[in-house]
Amino acid sequence: MKVAPEITYRNVDKSDALDNLVNEKIGKLEQVCDYISSCHIAIEKIHDRPRSGSPYRVRIDITVPPGHELVAESNPSDTNQYAPLDAVVRDAFKAAVQQLRKLSKRQQESDKAKTHDDPQESIALVTKLFPDRGYGFIKTIDNAQEIYFHRNSVLHDDFDRIEIGTGVRFSVEEGEEGPQATTVQIVNKPGASVGKSEQTLIEPPLGWRE
């Protein structure tokens, strides 16, 4: 995940057990899709003494390059048997995993179709950037290859808008020192999200996990 997840607790006491469970489930998300742009998790208690159902609600907002926004939520209704917090957390992440799997499958099928028509066009993330020197490196979504790009190859003079973790679409050609990206086009910015939590307990530093 190129931006650290944001986790918000509202009217819920954070415990080591809960924190470990959430981090374990975040790891499951990364196993399904290791190029998630951002992930915002809200865990809240919405009722103090519900007659039935669960007092808890968990919402997960995820963005995936080039601009997909996924929302998974678990909020057991009053008709359900009382569900403890850990069960609500598991249900929310289960729904998120299912959505990511469907999206990843669609993207893989789309990539195969594009490869058939235009084998040179791909989606990648910026992994290294040297603004003073006017170049950087991008890595394809499947982590197969890291490719050099120059500021002159970035469309619309957008080089200065690029950051570590920016998603781009590009073509590739052979240069004197190996493959290099051409016609680099920004398709998303780091940290783009929907339903962002009002309170952030974990600040999202820009970075990239190799």
pLDDT value of position 84: 86
Rounded to an integer, the average pLDDT of 152-169 is: 91
| 21 confidence band (pLDDT: 50, 70, 90) | very high
CA 99/CA 192 separation, integer angstroms: 18
pLDDT value of position 52: 56
DSSP 163-207: -TT-EEEEEEEEETTEEEEEEEEEEE-TT--SS--SS-SS---B-
What three-state secondary structure class fits 6? strand
Scan for tokens 């007659």, then name that residue: 51
CA 133 to chain CA mean position, Å = 29
CA 84/CA 53 separation, integer angstroms: 9
pLDDT for 197 beyond 80:
no
pLDDT value of position 14: 87
Rounded to an integer, the average pLDDT of 127-146 is: 86
Poorest-confidence range of 95-99, 106-110, 191-195?
191-195
Average per-residue pLDDT for the chain = 79
**Exposed e or buried b per residue across 157-187, where buried means at least 16 C-beta atoms within 10 angstroms of its C-beta:** eebeebbbbbbbbbebeeeeeeebbbbbbbe
| 111 confidence band (pLDDT: 50, 70, 90) | low
pLDDT for 38 beyond 70:
yes
**Per-range mean pLDDT, top range of 7-11, 101-105, 206-210:** 7-11
64/42: higher pLDDT: 42
Q: How far from 72 is each of 96, 111, 195, CA to CA, in Å?
A: 5, 25, 11
Poorest-confidence range of 20-34, 75-89, 158-172?
75-89
Contact residues for 152 (Cβ-Cβ < 8 A; gap 6+): 134
120/89: higher pLDDT: 89
pLDDT value of position 108: 75
H helices then E strands: how many in the chain? 2, 9
Rounded to an integer, the average pLDDT of 104-132 is: 73
